[in-house]
């Protein structure tokens, strides 16, 4: 018989997977995760959070339905979190087929495997605000999808399949449509980490300039550890559904840059260069979130907004660069 609190996190080595694993451990779960290459690299983020030895990682390729079913049979999870997949919008234009396989077909493989092997398990699917495409209105759960990239189209497909499996097969499937959420675990190819890392280097006299693309784009930026709490709450709710995960506040990239450099007492205008080569024609102008339904149903609301997010990211970046000099900022990773 499966334990009452046993979870399987697909994509446990990423930012969200690592923070979710920590959150579940704090709630006394038996935590299992999957990785296509479950070596030392898969535990890097888990090690940063001090939980690498507290979870069990299984080798799994979600393109292989038989392997998924074998893992589900072996573990017997009560909750499954689908956080794996290709996460770069720009990379999706270079490999649209691979992106669709990673984000859509693999999720369908998981849905079908859960239906056959673990129909009582509760399943979370990680969605994206990119699915909404360009919008001048607050996007809520009833807002239609207008994907503008292969990544967004793949995520929209996975979301819709989740709805179909919930309604047609009576599975407990909840979709989390997530707006941007950041942490010190973000890889450097994400623009927020690129900005924070460059600003920290400039403050230390290591770098002189930071080339960026369109600074007028507007995003809703939140704190990843809070978002994983919402994922968990979705699977504790009595009924499954679709939920918007965001702060409800939208800011320009310029405002984020100003906040980051301001944390270091620097004027960003002295160091940031707007490079037309970095402008993307596919870039969404802005993303706007309606979080009223999420707050009403789950009682969840993001507390960390953009200004505090910038402070936390800068604090941890400085701590990483100078471990002996910033004990106060080390506390950020523990939140």
Q: Is the pLDDT of residue 37 over 90?
A: no
Instruction: Quote the pLDDT of residue 254.
Output: 96
Average pLDDT over residues 146-154: 95
CA-based nearest residue to 37, from 12, 72, 9, 8 = 12
Residue-wise pLDDT for 92-141, tens only, equals 999 999 999 999 999 999 999 999 999 999 999 999 999 999 888 899 98
130 part of the active site: yes
Task: Compute the residue count for the chain.
Answer: 335
151 part of the active site: yes
Q: Which one is predicted more confidently, 187 or 153?
A: 153
Q: Is the pLDDT of residue 325 over 70?
A: no
The single residue listed with the structure tokens 């450097």 is 188
Set 29, 81, 151, 161: catalytic member: 151
For the chain, list the domains and their CATH numbers.
6-181+222-245 (3.40.50.720), 186-220+250-283+304-334 (3.90.25.10)
How far apart are alpha carbons 195 and 165 in whole angstroms? 40
Please tell me the pTM assigned to this model. 0.93
Set 34, 128, 149, 183: catalytic member: 128
Residue-wise pLDDT for 110-119, tens only, equals 999 999 999 9
Residue-wise pLDDT for 281-310, tens only, equals 666 778 899 999 999 999 999 999 999 999
Set 113, 129, 130, 226: catalytic member: 130
Q: Residue 79 phi/psi, 5° resolution?
A: -135, 140
């Amino acid at each position: 018989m499966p334990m009452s609190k046993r979870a399987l996190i697909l994509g446990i080595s990423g930012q969200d997977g690592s923070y979710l694993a920590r959150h579940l451990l704090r709630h006394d779960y038996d935590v299992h995760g999957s990785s296509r290459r479950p070596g030392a690299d898969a535990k890097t983020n888990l090690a940063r959070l001090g939980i690498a030895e507290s979870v069990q990682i299984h080798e799994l390729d979600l393109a292989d339905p038989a392997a998924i079913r074998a893992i589900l049979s072996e573990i017997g999870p009560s909750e499954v979190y689908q956080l794996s997949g290709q996460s770069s919008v720009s990379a999706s234009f270079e490999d649209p087929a691979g992106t669709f396989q990673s984000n859509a077909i693999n999720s369908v493989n998981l849905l079908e495997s859960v239906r056959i092997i673990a129909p009582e398990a509760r399943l979370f699917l990680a969605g994206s605000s990119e699915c909404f495409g360009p919008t001048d209105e607050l996007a809520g759960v009833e807002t239609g999808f207008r994907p503008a990239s292969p990544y967004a189209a793949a995520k929209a497909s996975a979301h819709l399949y989740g709805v179909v499996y919930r309604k047609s097969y009576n599975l407990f499937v909840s979709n989390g449509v997530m707006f941007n959420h950041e942490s010190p675990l973000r890889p450097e190819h994400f623009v927020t980490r690129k900005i924070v890392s460059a600003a920290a280097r400039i403050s230390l006299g290591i770098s002189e300039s930071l080339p960026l693309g369109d600074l007028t784009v507007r995003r809703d930026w939140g704190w990843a550890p809070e978002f994983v709490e919402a994922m968990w709450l979705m699977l504790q709710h009595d009924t499954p559904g679709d939920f918007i995960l965001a702060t409800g506040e939208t800011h320009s990239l310029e405002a984020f840059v100003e906040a980051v450099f301001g944390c270091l007492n620097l004027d960003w205008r002295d160091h940031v260069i707007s490079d037309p080569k970095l402008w993307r024609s596919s870039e969404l102008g802005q993303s706007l979130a309606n979080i009223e339904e999420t707050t009403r149903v789950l009682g969840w609301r993001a507390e960390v907004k953009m200004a505090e997010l910038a402070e936390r990211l800068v604090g941890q970046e400085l701590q990483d660069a100078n471990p002996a000099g910033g004990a106060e900022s080390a506390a950020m990773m523990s939140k």
